[in-house]
Structure formats: C-alpha cells, structure tokens
Amino acid sequence: MIHIYKPGGDSARPVLALLHGTGGNELDLLPLGERLSPGSALLGIRGNVLENGMPRFFRRLAEGVFDEEDLTARTHELRAFLDEAAREYGFDRSRVVAVGYSNGANIAASLLQHYSGVFAGAVLLHPMVPLRGREWAPQPGTPVFIGAGTNDPIVPGGETAELQGLLEAAGAQVAVHWSSQGHRLNAAEAEAAREWLGRLSYKR
C-alpha cells in the first residue's frame, strides 16, 4: 500500500496508523497525528480503492452503503500491511493505535470487528458500524475514542450509539466526544482525542 513512515522521537509514545477519509491520501492526517501524540512514529496509509479518482479504503454501493465483500477483503489486506510495515520499519506492532477519519475510521472499526489485539487503541473520527450481522472479535479492555457530530449528516447519532454498544459488548473501553461541526474534523474534537491519548498506558 502507498504510505509514508515518519519515525518517532519518543519511544514511550504509541505508533499511530493514520487512515484518511474519502479523497485523502497518506499525508492528510500527518498534522493531526503530530498534534494528537507528539513524538509518536507516524504511519500514513493511502487506501487502495478509487471512487471517481478519489482514494478510499474500500468500495461502497452508495453513500452509507458499504460493499461488504470488498470491505472484508480490504480489512484483511490492511491487517497484512500493518504487520509487514512493522517488520520493515522495526516498530512494535503491539503498540499501534489507529487514527481514522470517516472512511478510514470505518475500516479501523472493521479491523476491530475482525481481529482481537489488532490495535493497542483506536481514535475513530465520525465512524459508522462496519458490518452488521457479523460477530465482533473480543476486545478486552481495548481503549477506543469516538468523535461524533450531533448534526452529522452522514452518521446519525443512533449509528454512533450502536457502534459504541457493539464495541463495549466486545469488551472495549469507549469514550465518545460530541461536537456540533457536522461530519468535519474540528479543533475541539482533536483536543479531546489528544487528552484521551495522553491518559492511556501502552504497556501490553
């Protein structure tokens, strides 16, 4: 997968896997990653799917309607890439925290749904439920931050509550931050995620 890796200056910080939204690329979330966890190694990843020329991590049939077969295949693909990147760059795979926005948050959630222990934690910004009707892999104690919009036109509040419930039923420890900026990222959301990350322990 097309990506960029920036080594970190603080070995006590997690490695952030940065997963962009529709139309983004491997560089989009680097400034956010630097803000959320100064000193962390950053792995910016570009999705392998194009929708009208815009990179995504998996196909969709319509807005909010996922191509479930493709999502499942791309989830396995991304898991394999993360394992390969850890070997290539020599970082501790068990210390990877996902930071995903929109489409990137959705595939990060899918990774949590498919695999136990795939992330040390996750920052999901405006995510949706990835695959309904599929059992979630156990996530005992996995910390998850969800950034949500009270007036998000793409992700209704009920969707956020459903995802929170599914994660918590799998054992994850979920914190939800609500803002009123629609589907956009905003400074208050980023600050809440930064404070949340700062309170976590990454010893596994």
116 is catalytic: no
Q: Please give the pLDDT value at position 11.
A: 86
Is residue 203 in a domain?
A: no
Catalytic residue among 28, 110, 114, 152: 152
102 is catalytic: yes
Question: Among 90-94, 113-117, 135-139, 182-186, which is the least confidently predicted range?
Answer: 182-186
Is residue 204 in a domain?
A: no
120 is written with which tokens? 């040390």
Range of the domain at 38: 3-198
Residue 178: CATH number of its domain: 3.40.50.1820
Is residue 66 in a domain?
A: yes
Domain tally for the chain? 1
Q: Which of 108, 162, 113, 121 is nearest to 138 (CA)?
A: 113
- The model's pLDDT over 145-195, given as tens digits with 9 standing for 90+, comes to 999 999 999 999 999 999 999 999 999 999 999 998 889 899 999 999 999
Catalytic residue among 37, 102, 110, 179: 102
- The model's pLDDT over 4-63, given as tens digits with 9 standing for 90+, comes to 999 999 988 999 999 999 999 999 999 999 999 999 999 999 999 999 999 999 999 888
Catalytic residue among 3, 67, 94, 183: 183
pLDDT of 203 higher than 80: no
Is residue 149 in a domain?
A: yes
